[in-house]
Amino acid sequence: METKVKNSKEIENLRNENDAESSSRTCILVLGMHRSGTSAITRVLNFMGAALPQNILGANEGNETGHWEPENLLELHDELLSELDSSWDDWQAIDLNKLSDDRYLNYKKRLQTLIKQEYKDAKLFVLKDPRICLLLPFYSELLEEINVEIKIVAQFRNPLDVMDSLQTRDEMLSSDAALLWLQYVLCSEKSSRNFKRVFVKYDDVLNDWRTCHGVIVSSLDVDWLYTLEEIEDQVDQFISPKHCHHSHKDEEVLFDPLLRQWVGEAYNALLVLQKKPNSDNAQKRLDEIAEEFEKAAPMLVQIKKSLSHFYKQQISEGEQQIAQKDNVIAEKQQQIVQKDNVIAEKQQQIVQKDNVIAEKQQQIVQKDDVIAEREQQIIKKDKFINELRYEYQIELEKQRDLFLYSKCWKITKPLRISSNFLKHITRRM
């Protein structure tokens, strides 16, 4: 990032405006790439006694335990980056010289006013927004003018974890996330060399925050309000590895072909700076990487534009194909609807016929019942007739017997014999 340098008279005037203010105050400036655990270390520093801003950006889906940074400041940073044709997720270097003198001074005044409003008269406060990594020279100037001393806690995290987190939260491409991590690291490290600083690894905060606490206390020369014993219960409740959703081993960075060079070596340099914050060898290598990155940036930008154009073209063609297939699907669905209507109509006809059949079957059942009833009646009549016939037969036989044994039958017996004899003689003649 190129810094816009103001003339000495301008700076002296600004300093004179703040001479009446309170004596020097201390700002613990938390630097670190997005998704690097800067929120966690900011809250720990607050437990140690550094004041938080009045208007804090709270917890959300992307950060369950809170951001602990001034919400209004984020909006102003985004406005500034936008005026510089940049944004928080742009890995290209920013140039403050794009601002006119009036706009430069305007942003400085607004940031100074906002910091005064957010932190009031706090002698020790913590300020955190990852975007400050890109704006540290600007912050150095504006905080100095209001008699605020800067001390740096540089939080860093395995770039693979950061890339995974950005992919999950923002659907960012791995290549863009890697270069963004590199830009934030290079800018914040180089711009913080003139300040008392300490490098803290996010994994160490989660797994052994007490050791991190000791390193911070011994490195920054700050009169902290609370001791370790006074805050450890609160920090133990706040810090939890369960809030870390992505975790890679350090050596995995070197196994990844995308990260092996610039990003991998920059990460190794940070691990060295963690033990020796002003290691000449680490700073030298980071400067070499920054120089190589700066030289390659135009080509990388062009490659990104070409790829972006290619991807957009592919997406456009894909969307056209999808639209065509959607039309075919819509046509097929319409045919299906029509066939469903035909089927529904046929089913309705079947239902109607089933109703007719059911009605006929009901009529048959009713007729069968009538027939069965008639048959029952016939059976009853047949029984009655048989009973009458039997009674008649009995009566007939009774009458015959009475007749056969009657006097008349006995008296006429000779006549019957004669009659039968004459009939016999007549047949033979």
CA distances from 242 to 38, 153, 156, 161, 239 (A): 16, 23, 18, 14, 9
Type of residue at 32: G
Domains in the chain: boundaries: 8-278, 355-428
pLDDT tens digits, 132-169: 999 999 999 999 999 999 999 999 999 999 999 999 98
Q: What is the pLDDT of residue 63?
A: 52
pLDDT tens digits, 103-134: 999 999 999 999 999 999 999 999 999 999 99
Contacts 24+ apart (CB under 8 A), 191-196: 191/1, 191/136, 191/137, 191/140, 192/31, 192/136, 192/152, 192/154, 193/278, 193/283, 194/140, 195/29, 195/140, 195/150, 195/151, 195/152, 196/151, 196/152, 196/220, 196/221
pLDDT tens digits, 395-427: 888 888 787 777 777 788 777 777 777 777 877
CATH class name, domain 8-278: alpha beta
